[in-house]
Every structure is written in C-alpha cells, then in structure tokens.
Amino acid sequence: MSILDIITNPGDKFEARVTPTLKQVINITKGDAKWSAVKYPNGRIVETRSYRPGSKAIKLLEKFHK
C-alpha cells in the first residue's frame, strides 16, 4: 500500500519530517482519525492512534460511565 492509497479524500493530510534531534516523525489525518509514529535514534518506535468513535461505541461507553 502506498501513501496515495491512504490519502484519498479532501482534507486528508500526510506529513513526514526529521527533527533536529534526528527523530523521524510521520503524521496522517484522515477524516476523524489521526495516526502518528515517531522513530527515535535508538530504534524505538512509538505509534499513536486516535479517532472519534461511532454512535454504537458512544452509547456503550455512556452505559458504563453512568
């Protein structure tokens, strides 16, 4: 899969950069979902994903937080 298969809609974003401390950073935004990955000089990779849950998930969460 290429990046062109991921960013398909208006508003989708892809950003990649290398910081002054040599961290490699990728950020992808697609609709209500965001994904990022940071590769540190020692080889460790940290991924973060966030999204807006659908209506079923929101109702389930509300049920457990009453």
Q: What's the mean pLDDT in 32-60?
A: 88
Beta-ladder partners of 50: 34
Rounded percentage of the chain residues whose pLDDT exceeds 70: 95
How far apart, in whole angstroms, are the C-alpha atoms of residue 52 and residue 63? 17
HEC string for 36-60? EEEECCCCCEEEEEECCCCHHHHHH
How far apart, in whole angstroms, are the C-alpha atoms of residue 37 and residue 64? 31
The reported pLDDT for the residue numbered 53 is: 73
Q: What is the dihedral of CA 14, 45, 1, 30, to 10 degrees?
A: -40
Domain parsing of the chain, residue ranges: 3-64
Would you say residue 59 has pLDDT above 90?
no
